[in-house]
Amino acid sequence: LSTELLDILASLIDKSLILRKEMPDGESRFRMLEVVRELALETLDERGRLGEIRGRHAAFFTDLGATAEPLLQSAESGVWLSRLEEEHDNLRSAMDWSLVNDPEMAVRLAVSVRNYWLVHSHLTEGFGWLKAASETGFEPPPKLKFKLLNGLGLAARFRGDHATARKAYEAGLASGEEAGDRQGTALSNRGLGLVAMQQGDHAAARIHFDAGLAISRELEDKYGVAMSLSFLGD
């Protein structure tokens, strides 16, 4: 932070217009009192800058999501899950704005934080955001579309909505193949296999698990091989 900005923040804290919160990692966070926030929003709206500021806010949290996405499946996942939980209201606001004003940004944000929603007790909300992002009319590039649809399929399957899950996984499989994403294609096949298995269609499940296993072996993806064999064992 610049010296000028630090001086402004210190002045606002002294006047009790902004509150400071110390995070476990030593980082400081600042938030406005509700009445101050409402006044600030009204002022921005009156000056015709509310849309610009909300767009910059959404862009910031879309970039944060992109940073978090690979780390949510790493040794740092706990840190980043907590970070996104702290930012959850900001993520909601960014999704609300981008769904209406920038569908591409909405898709990118939904894709980047999908694993946070699904594993951190926000399944129903995450399903809603992923579904909304898939219905904006924006046609993402195949690799991004695959991630969106696979996330939607996973959320739907976790909720027991097998029809939505199958439809999303099938469309995701097609996008994965179009993108040349072999690992993603294997993942979609495993998802389709799980949907079939949960519905008692073991013959269809075996076809999809075998397809995923073949791809994972081709890629020497030990995790994918292990998952496919485990599901075949089930």
Alpha carbon distance 183, 166 (integer Å): 18
- Average pLDDT rounded to a whole number, residues 120-148: 95
pLDDT (tens digit per residue) in 95-120 = 999 999 999 999 999 999 999 999 99
What pLDDT digit, counting tens, does each position of 49-71 carry? 999 999 999 999 999 999 999 99
Nearest Cα to 165, choosing from 178, 176, 152, 175?
A: 152
CB 192 within 8 A of CB 166: yes
Taking Cα atoms as reference points, which of 169, 140, 173, 142 lies closest to residue 154?
Answer: 169
Residues 6+ apart with CB under 8 A from 99: 106, 132, 133, 136
Query: Is 19 or 84 the better-scoring residue by pLDDT?
Result: 84
Residue 152 has pLDDT above 90, yes or no: yes
Instruction: Give the span between the Cα atoms of 59 and 111, in whole angstroms.
Output: 14
Taking only the tens place, the pLDDT of each residue in 178-190 is 889 999 899 999 9
Total H helices, total E strands in the chain: 13, 2
CA distances from 223 to 25, 43, 55, 183, 219 (A): 32, 53, 39, 11, 11
Helix (H) or strand (E) holding 32: strand 28-32
Residue 9 is predicted with a pLDDT of 87
